[in-house]
Amino acid sequence: MKESRLMLVQYATAVAAVALVSVHLIMQGVIYPYATAISFNNILSVYRNGFYAIFLEALLVVVLVHGFNGVRIILNEFRQTKPWETWVDLGTVLAIVVTVAYGTRTVILAVFGGASG
């Protein structure tokens, strides 16, 4: 993928992350009192709200793509050899896939799993 496309993704995820994280913080810190917002039962109920589950999944993807792509940029400035760039690119894709998969697993388990309050 061209660097300009990757940077477009970086800028788009930055804007999306600002919006999503803001909503998340407002929900968890203002609408619900912080003490109860992080209780096990509240978190489970949040995940089981279909809209909020999708919201959290979107937050997960946006933040991880933005974060790992940012790390890729930093690492590419450390060293300028083709093998290094290839490994950094592969590592970035792998890190995004693994962490998004693991986070998605958490969302799915919370929504459909057997955990109960």
Partner 1 sequence: MKLVVQRFDPFVDAKPRMMEYAVPGRDGMTVLDALLYARDYLDHSMALRFSCRQASCGSCGMKINGRPRLACYTQVAELGGKKVVVQPMDNFAIIKDLVIDLESFFEKHRGVVPYLIRADSQEMEKPSAEYMMKPEELEKVLQFTYCIKCGLCTSSCPTVATDSKFPGPQALAQAYRYIADPRDEGGEKRIELLDDAHGVWRCHFAGSCSFVCPKGVDPALGIQLLKRHVMSGRPPRGGGEGAKVWAASVSAPPRK
| 91 scored as a contact of partner 1 (CB under 8 A) | no
Q: Whole-number minimum distance, CB 97 to partner 1, in Å?
A: 20
Q: Whole-number minimum distance, CB 13 to partner 1, in Å?
A: 15
Sign of the alpha-carbon dihedral angle for 39, 44, 48, 52: positive
| 1 scored as a contact of partner 1 (CB under 8 A) | no
Sign of the alpha-carbon dihedral angle for 28, 70, 6, 11: positive
**Which of helix, strand or coil describes residue 110?**
helix
Return d(Cα 104, Cα 117) in angstroms, integer.
Answer: 21
Residue 57 or 85: which CB sits closer to partner 1? 85
Binding site for partner 1 (CB under 8 A): 2-4, 7-8, 73, 76-78, 80, 85
